[in-house]
Amino acid sequence: MRIHWIVWGMIIGLLGPQGTYSQKAANQLDIHARLKYFDDLEDVIGSVLAGDVDCSILPIENSLEGSIGITLDALKEHDITITGEIIVPIRHCLLSKGHMEDVKIILSHPQGLAQCRRFIRTHFKNARTQTTGSTSHAAKLTSEFPEMAAIASRESALHYGLDILADDIQDHKENYTRFVVLGKQMPEPTGHDKTSIIIHLGQDRPGVLYDLLGEFASRNINLTKIESRPSKLGLGDYLFYIDMEGHQSDTRLKDALKGIENLADQIKVIGSYPMGIRKIA
């Protein structure tokens, strides 16, 4: 996939250190940009808000473990826009300087540990697990101690000089993470776009969500995702994150957004951008 406005010399912020799946997402853009690494996702978000980078790449959902709350919250709370998406196949490996029988501690990002629960339970029932800020950070720490192992990418093994003790260890083989490119410039329509919005329903009544969805159905707009998330305004109060096919400049989509204005007290368009292409591992 190519996001057409990302050009040579731009600075892209992402989770580090080198070897993360975020870096793999950046590499799929097929561009020559400078990558700037940060210790956690909040710092990645802060970098684009402060203008320290031209755009940033963050995970927004995983096919096994669901949505990434930090990213969703940032899109609600800040003036940033989804300008593209990248679908990355996740193929976890167990990396270490030691042997399988030496492993006492397994490190990874919480998502990495969660996606490999069955493998850990089957092969390392007595090992201790420890979370890190990223899978590549786990690999970097593991490179110093033979009793440690990291759940990380094959690229991390090469980068940090680790052996691959086991390959493709995620509990389900169809494991993908959707990354979004965040910036402040809305891309022009490409004819193969997706639009993402956040809605807060002003009045809770029977059938209100049905009426809202009907505005899209009646215009033959395909919704690719709908998810509720606490609004943080009170127990039982929710926001709806909705992804749909089309660009916000499309007539049908503009009419649908106009049609739901009387059903919601908040509508925020958080991006219209080229659809991501799923890469083969």
What interhelical angle do 41-50 and 69-77 show, nearest 10? Answer: 20
- The answer to whether residue 142 is catalytic is no
Q: Among residues 81, 132, 142, 177, which one is catalytic?
A: 177
Alpha-carbon dihedral sign for residues 96, 115, 275, 75: negative
- How long, in residues, is the chain? 281
* 161: helix, strand or coil: coil
The single residue listed with the structure tokens 């996606």 is 115
Alpha-carbon dihedral sign for residues 154, 158, 160, 163: positive
- The answer to whether residue 124 is catalytic is no
Asked if residue 41 lies in contact with residue 133, where contact means CB atoms within 8 angstroms, the answer is no
Q: Among residues 38, 179, 216, 240, which one is catalytic?
A: 179
Asked if residue 3 lies in contact with residue 29, where contact means CB atoms within 8 angstroms, the answer is yes
- Report how many helices (DSSP H) and strands (DSSP E) the chain contains, helices first: 9, 15
The single residue listed with the structure tokens 């006492």 is 104
What interhelical angle do 208-217 and 251-259 show, nearest 10? Answer: 160
What amino acid positions are annotated as catalytic residues? 177, 179
